[in-house]
Structure 1
Amino acid sequence: MSVVETGSVRELGVPGRREVVADALVVLGIDAVEPLVRELADEGSPVDWRPIAAVLGRIGEAVAFDGLLRGLAAASGGRSRERLGFAFSGFGAAALDRYTAALSHPVPHVRRMAVRGLQRCGDDARSAVDALVPLLGDPDDEVAREAQNALMSHGEHVIARLRLVRERGPGRQRARALTVLAESGGEGALSRADVAAVERLVRVKLQDDRPEGLWACWNHWIAVHSGDQAGIMRILGLSDPRPVTFALSNDIVDTDSHGFGPDDPYRGDERVFVTPELDGWTLVLGAWCDPCGEERGDDVLRLCVELSHRYGQAHAYYYGGQGDGSAWVVAEHGVVVRRYCETGDAGDALLTLGGPLPFERARRLELGLPPEWDAARENRDEEEEWRWAAHDMAADLARSYGVSPLHLGPDTPSRGTGVVALTPYGLAHGVPPGAFRV
């Protein structure tokens, strides 16, 4: 091939020809770059970006980088920018200096893809941190957000640099610098002045704070029929309460509910949100309140018994917001009235305690099923119908008793201030860092 035709590039999309054509294009080197970039920029191209990017990668950043940069800068359509951006950001650490230089390009989506290219360089990109920091104040919000995410990936290695931004400016960089610090090191990464400023903001927001629905992908909570927030916390062994808004608490609980990796020092049950009194009830929300999990189930049952002995009623619930099932514990006056789990786990039936609650009986009657039942004798169709109904029941069951966190709103009667508090595990091991909505 002395001249690269569009047809030959498009043969990269033909499975039987792809390898031969790719090898030929790599041999052409710089002569193949422009047609390959043109194909990436063509929004109607039938060829996936991956084999084109692979050829450009084999040609190498020294030859292909500038051609891709020109194509990316000239691209106007969303799909062409996306295709070119994927290829442009994929050269790895070999293009580190080129990506760093491109951070100052006049075209915003080139700057954004240069940041993404640095992210794909891994730890090698730490040398570019000083060049990334100014982009926290980029006039293009997408570029600034990309830079923020890239700096977060460097963790503690950016803390000292961003503390300087918080202390000295420039002003456009300061807000995102605070976010990166919170994500990278939590409260310990913030200066005393920043901690005081955040606490002051929370106090201001609390003046007009009203209940709002608390929703996570995996919802666990304890409900106590009392407004004695301090007494409930004492029985649960919670400590270090910090006032929070409903929005802030929801962000924390939802983030923690997603759990952490096997090498992470955190488990997601280090802290809980303890609501103000809500229509006569206090709710405690967080993964630590799981009524059916192997790690926490027995202790949550014990705590519900103890709380109900003191306050009359204490319940615990699980509701999977992604269709992951329901579970509930109801204790009254120191006695377990009911425990029931419908999460799809093989051991669910082994956790059942007590007889069906009035709400369960009523729901079965609505379904045309007998209100009392023996799971061992129920026919398969009845068992399946009930299983699907119970799978989504926890929030409605909680609401039938009084308050469900998923159904809170500004009109829910409220007294006091909600707090985030440490569980015994959190007190011993600390809490994960994070930046949250106040």
Structure 2
Amino acid sequence: MALLLILAVLLALMGRWLVKWGRETAEKQYRADDGAVLPHIPEMALTPLDDTPDGPVPFGYKMGWLAVKCEDPHRLMEVLGLRDPQPANWTTGLARAGYQGRVFVSPALDGYVLAVGLWADDLEDVPGRTERLVDTFSEVQFFGTHRISDYHYWTKYVDGKVVRDYIYQDAGVVWDEGDLTPEELALGFERFSGMDRESGWFPGEEDVLDIAAAWGVDPRFQKKAYPPSVGWVCD
């Protein structure tokens, strides 16, 4: 069992590296050396930023993001070390999220601020950044889902301590810390506790969006309307 767990962890780390490598490689290909736009760049990623307020736009697929209990988006930007914030509405801001290292920081929604386009392993690139984040804010949630690599995770910190941390990679569950939260139990997530796929039960991208909605902010914005607002695109 210990050998299988070690193997699963190694495979997960490799999978996370492949996801990150793929993102970074794609980002380098968005523009040629002379600045010319390459033809396969997603059109929305090239749309000029617009600061005309609009309503939240659904997101979450093949994406990593944070939901932080906070009323001041600029405070979150400061703690994360994000630079050069530019006002952007949801439509143009989310179009940039995840492309060329950009992060969309939302206005406060129901007491949470979102940082979209930021993966949990991006935080690990700067020593101490995760610790500073969870020590500064009373609640921090991490989410990520990438259907190609079959990589899905959700994590919740409260008062600086991890309450729940779950990571699934194609080989199976590679990290499962903390008791299932009431929201996970209500969603039937106990079926995801096995170490491999033999049971036939394993999480997918919709499950990540479901738990994000249950814990605070629904990235699909299906059940609640918010007034028009503006966020920020940062490096």
Give TM class, smaller chain.
0.5 to 0.7
Relative to structure 1, the CA distance from residue 353 to residue 303 in structure 2 (aligned partners, 3 Å threshold; closer, same or farther) is farther
Amino acid aligned to 1:231: R
Aligned to 1:290: 119
In 1: Cα distance, 2:185 partner to 2:126 partner: 25
Aligned residues: 197
Deviation by residue 1:125-169 (Cα, 9 ceiling, x = unmatched): xxxxxxxxxxxxxxxxxxxxxxxxxxx99762xx7xxxxxxxxxx
Deviation by residue 1:337-369 (Cα, 9 ceiling, x = unmatched): 1211123146x42x332222222223338x8x6
Relative to structure 1, the CA distance from residue 344 to residue 243 in structure 2 (aligned partners, 3 Å threshold; closer, same or farther) is same
Runs (5+) with no aligned partner, structure 2: 1-29, 39-47
Query: In the alignment, is residue 328 of structure 1 matched against residue 141 of structure 2?
Result: no
Secondary structure (helix, strand or coil) at the match of 2:188 reads helix
Q: TM-score, normalised by structure 1?
A: 0.39
In 1: Cα distance, 2:127 partner to 2:204 partner: 20
Aligned to 2:58: 213
Larger helix percent: 1
Deviation by residue 1:313-343 (Cα, 9 ceiling, x = unmatched): 1111002256834201110111111211123
The alpha carbon displacement at 1:283 in A equals 0.4
Structure with bigger gyration radius? 1
**8 Å Cα contact 1:309-1:334 kept in structure 2:** yes
Deviation by residue 1:25-65 (Cα, 9 ceiling, x = unmatched): xxxxxxxxxxxxxxxxxxxxxxxxxxxxxxxxxxxxxxxxx
Aligned to 2:7: none
Cα RMSD (Å): 3.6
Aligned to 2:183: 359
Amino-acid identity (%): 23
Query: In the alignment, is residue 393 of structure 1 matched against residue 207 of structure 2?
Result: yes
**8 Å Cα contact 2:54-2:230 kept in structure 1:** no
Aligned to 2:93: 249
**8 Å Cα contact 2:94-2:116 kept in structure 1:** no
Question: Whose relative contact order is higher, 1 or 2, with alpha carbons under 8 Å and at least 6 apart?
Answer: 2
Relative to structure 1, the CA distance from residue 332 to residue 240 in structure 2 (aligned partners, 3 Å threshold; closer, same or farther) is same
In 2: Cα distance, 1:153 partner to 1:410 partner: 38
Secondary structure (helix, strand or coil) at the match of 1:341 reads strand
Amino acid aligned to 1:245: N
List aligned pairs for 1:250-399, cutoff 5 A.
250-253=94-97, 256=99, 268=100, 270-286=101-117, 289-291=118-120, 293=121, 296=122, 298=124, 303-320=129-146, 324-345=150-171, 348-349=173-174, 351-364=175-188, 375=194, 380-381=198-199, 384-385=200-201, 387=202, 389=203, 392-399=206-213
List aligned pairs for 1:83-102, cutoff 5 A.
none
Larger strand percent: 2
